């Protein structure tokens, strides 16, 4: 079966680096980290005090009666989806709306609402949970809210695979187009985990950095949690051409795998398989790829295993790759992170510039790829791969490439 | 028309209404408040707590039985007087 070509016609994002894609990309180009002290939420007795938060929400103009139904993770998704749809110039009449959908992934859920209820009821003696608790918390809320906001009446659902949710969502959305169920899909991920209850769980695992995130640097001390959302507009090529949409890049393919080993400890084999399958699915040889946006969490375990996996998947071509972890700047945004990282890949392709790994200080002999330390690198990026690995061993790599008619 | 009961109820409604909603009176239609359908139920809950009454209405009942703020005040007044 020949599958239809799928292109990317819009990008939308919000995270610690900025409240739209131009601002986010400007920060990435400059290697400016958005990590800092958490100021927007009470931390109570938490030991961890740094994160990659959105210090100031943009003026979104969402009406009150819609806003009260939304947890922060839905709001972030709607803001990113609006930006992506606007860039794609998406206007949907009644017929077209049935051929347009959304897959918005999340790794956690609408935890701000859970936190507020437990504290309110158990500590402050409130008699009831917030009446919107159920529709605010549910994993599929952001997908539903995005569909309502943009009038998408085709396939709409959430996908969840912890920290690779964003990539699995993008793949699931592309599949809807490939299978003929939709012409246009908004796809990505969202997460608002900078909340005491979530951070307390991460703190218990002792994987959080005290200061900042330094992927691939020998003096790294762990990951930093971030919040945000990323959404891309995926579109059947003929559909995009027919309506004169801006074509930013082509969705080339994906590789999905599972470690099937441990709920938290990664393997080399799982990520290797994801990248190898991604190359095969995209019809790319290892030397056709110029940039890998690494999962690069900034934990010793991830960074060293990912380095080995990239070497196994790319062979000798690994040494001509530019690699970087943009988590050093936007933090680990869990279910949203892969979507933000795909934005970095698309902009790397369109702008011929590899965003750096910020906060890098000390070379690690076990992470000996070119990790683009601290300074962006200008080079033609014909194709880029975005890696996402997750607790549960659920791996997803997505490839994008320059669009050629 | 303005009495203490009505003022209390209007105060509770105000906390839920859209910020751009103007002055709320007994004649204000519930649909003009800019509230989500479930928020009326939340308001009903709050009035139950405030006055120690039970307004037996589901979300659907509330919207079909009540049209303006005055209707809500009357419903509460009836229950409060029955209780007394």
Give the C-alpha separation, A112 to A193, whole Å: 8
Where a domain ends, among A216, A242, A268? A242
* Number of domains, chain A: 2
Q: Is B46 in CB contact (< 8 Å) with chain A?
A: no
pLDDT of residue A215: 98
pLDDT in tens, A226-275: 999 999 999 999 999 999 999 999 999 999 999 999 999 999 999 999 99
Where a domain ends, among A180, A209, A242? A242
The complex scores an ipTM of 0.82
Tell me whether residue A223 is in a domain.
yes
pLDDT of residue B21: 86
Residues listed for chain B: 84
* Number of domains, chain B: 1
Q: Between A68, A127, A128, which is nearest B36 by CB?
A: A68
Give the confidence band of A1 by pLDDT, cuts at 50, 70, 90: low
Q: Nearest CA of chain B to the CA of A200: how many Å? A: 31
Where a domain ends, among A198, A221, A242? A242
Provide CB contacts within 8 A for A183, sequence distance 6+.
Answer: A96, A99, A100, A177, A235, A236, A239
Q: Are residues A168 and A295 in the same domain?
A: no
Give the confidence band of A289 by pLDDT, cuts at 50, 70, 90: very high
Selected residues 4-33 of chain B with any CB under 8 Å from a CB in chain A: 16-20
Q: Are residues A225 and A311 in the same domain?
A: no
pLDDT in tens, A312-342: 999 999 999 999 999 999 999 999 999 999 9
Give the C-alpha separation, A93 to A281, whole Å: 34
* pLDDT at residue A360 is higher than 90: yes
> Which of A194-203, A296-305, B47-56 shows the lowest per-residue confidence on average (mean pLDDT)?
B47-56
pLDDT in tens, A62-115: 999 999 999 999 999 999 999 999 999 999 999 899 999 999 999 999 999 999
Q: Is B60 in CB contact (< 8 Å) with chain A?
A: no
Q: Are B45 and A128 in contact, with CB atoms under 8 Å apart?
A: yes
* pLDDT at residue B2 is higher than 80: no
Cβ contact, residue pair A64, B19, below 8 Å: yes
* pLDDT at residue A197 is higher than 60: yes
Tell me whether residue A40 is in a domain.
yes
Distances (CA, A) of A356 to A347, A393, B8, B56: 13, 26, 58, 61
Provide CB contacts within 8 A for A72, sequence distance 6+.
Answer: A110, A112, A192, A227
Q: Nearest CA of chain A to the CA of B42: how many Å? A: 6
User: CATH number for the domain including A353?
Assistant: 3.40.47.10
pLDDT of residue B1: 43
User: CATH number for the domain including B13?
Assistant: 1.10.1200.10
| Domain containing residue B26 | 4-83
Averaged over A374-390, what is the pLDDT?
98
Cβ contact, residue pair B39, A68, below 8 Å: yes
To the nearest whole percent, how much of chain A has pLDDT over 90? 98
Q: Nearest CA of chain B to the CA of A69: how many Å? A: 8
Q: Using CB atoms within 10 Å of the CB of residue A388, give its burial: 0 to 12 exposed, 13 to 18 middle, 19+ buried.
A: buried
Tell me whether residue A247 is in a domain.
no
Q: Are residues A194 and A312 in the same domain?
A: no
| Domain containing residue A296 | 253-401
| B46 contacts on A by Cβ (under 8 Å) | none
Q: Are residues A258 and A227 in the same domain?
A: no
Tell me whether residue A103 is in a domain.
yes
Q: Are residues A278 and A231 in the same domain?
A: no
Cβ contact, residue pair B18, A69, below 8 Å: no
To the nearest whole percent, how much of chain A has pLDDT over 70? 100
Tell me whether residue A346 is in a domain.
yes
């Amino acid at each position: 079966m020949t599958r239809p070509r799928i292109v990317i016609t819009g990008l939308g994002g919000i995270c610690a680096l900025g409240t739209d894609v131009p601002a986010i990309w400007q920060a990435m180009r400059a290697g400016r980290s958005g990590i800092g002290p958490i100021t927007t939420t009470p931390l109570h007795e938490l030991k961890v005090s740094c994160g990659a938060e959105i210090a100031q929400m943009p003026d979104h103009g969402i009406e009150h009666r819609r806003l009260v139904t939304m947890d922060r993770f839905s709001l972030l998704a709607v803001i990113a989806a609006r930006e992506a749809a606007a860039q794609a110039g998406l206007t949907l009449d009644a017929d077209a709306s049935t051929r347009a959908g959304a897959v918005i992934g999340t790794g956690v859920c609408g935890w701000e609402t859970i936190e507020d209820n437990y504290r309110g009821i158990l500590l402050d003696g409130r008699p009831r949970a917030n009446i919107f608790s159920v529709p605010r918390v549910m994993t599929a809320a952001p997908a539903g809210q995005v569909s309502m906001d943009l009038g998408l009446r085709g396939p709409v659902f959430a996908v969840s695979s912890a920290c690779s949710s964003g990539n699995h969502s993008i793949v699931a959305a592309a599949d809807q187009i490939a299978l003929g169920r939709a012409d246009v899909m908004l796809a990505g991920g969202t997460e608002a985990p900078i909340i005491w209850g979530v951070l307390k769980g991460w703190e218990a695992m002792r994987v959080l950095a005290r200061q900042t995130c330094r992927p691939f640097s020998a003096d790294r001390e762990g990951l930093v949690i971030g919040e945000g959302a990323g959404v891309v507009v995926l579109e059947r090529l003929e559909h995009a051409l027919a309506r004169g949409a801006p074509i930013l890049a082509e969705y080339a393919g994906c590789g999905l795998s599972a470690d099937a080993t441990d709920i938290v400890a990664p393997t080399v084999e799982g990520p290797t398989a994801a990248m190898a399958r991604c190359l095969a699915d995209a019809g790319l040889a290892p030397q056709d790829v110029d940039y890998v946006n690494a999962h690069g969490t900034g934990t010793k375990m991830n960074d060293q295993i990912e380095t080995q996996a990239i070497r196994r998947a790319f062979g000798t071509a690994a040494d001509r790759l530019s690699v970087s972890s943009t988590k050093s700047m936007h933090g680990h945004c869990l279910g949203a992170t892969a979507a933000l990282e795909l934005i970095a890949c698309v902009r790397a392709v369109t702008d011929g510039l590899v965003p750096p790994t910020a906060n890098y200080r000390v070379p690690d002999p076990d992470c000996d790829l070119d990790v683009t330390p601290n300074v962006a690198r200008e080079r033609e990026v014909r194709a880029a791969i975005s890696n996402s690995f997750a607790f549960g061993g659920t791996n997803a790599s997505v490839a994008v490439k320059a669009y050629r008619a | 028309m303005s009495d203490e009961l009505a003022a209390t109820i209007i105060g509770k409604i105000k906390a839920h209404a859209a910020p751009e909603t103007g002055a709320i009176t007994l004649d204000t239609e519930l649909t003009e408040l800019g509230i989500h359908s479930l928020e009326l139920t939340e308001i009903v809950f709050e009035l139950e707590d405030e006055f120690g009454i039970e307004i037996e209405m589901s979300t659907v009942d509330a919207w079909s039985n009540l049209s303006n703020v005055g209707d809500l005040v009357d419903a509460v007044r009836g229950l409060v007087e029955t209780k007394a």
